[in-house]
Amino acid sequence: MPFDAERQRLQAPHICVTVFARGLLNHLVTRLYFEDEPTNAGDPVLQHVPDHRQATLLARREPGSARVVYRFDIVLQGAGETAFFNL
């Protein structure tokens, strides 16, 4: 589990995502969190994202599969735009 050394707190399991695309002058950075992870509530990075934008960082579990499958859509602009981080 990732560790926030600055505050000495654990972070929720997540995947760092970097988006490179034609037409983007700079790459975009975001995080993918798992919707059914109980430690999301205490994750220091996720808690800095406004409540109404946090859902854009959550991968949704796909029902009906023999394996565990999550879906994460990245929206570059407009309604439901994924929250991106300025690093």
Residue listed under structure tokens 């798992």? 34
Q: Identity (one letter) of the amino acid at 68?
A: V
Q: pLDDT band for 2, please (50, 70, 90 cuts).
A: low
Q: Which residue has the higher pLDDT, 4 or 26?
A: 26
**Chain-wide mean pLDDT for the chain?**
91
Going from the C-alpha of 87 to that of each of 1, 35, 61, 79, the distances in angstroms are 22, 24, 28, 23
| Helix or strand (DSSP H, E) at 53 | helix 51-54
| Helix or strand (DSSP H, E) at 54 | helix 51-54
pTM here is 0.84
In angstroms, the CA 87 to CA 12 distance is: 19
Question: What pLDDT is recorded for position 10?
Answer: 82
Q: Which residue has the higher pLDDT, 78 or 7?
A: 78
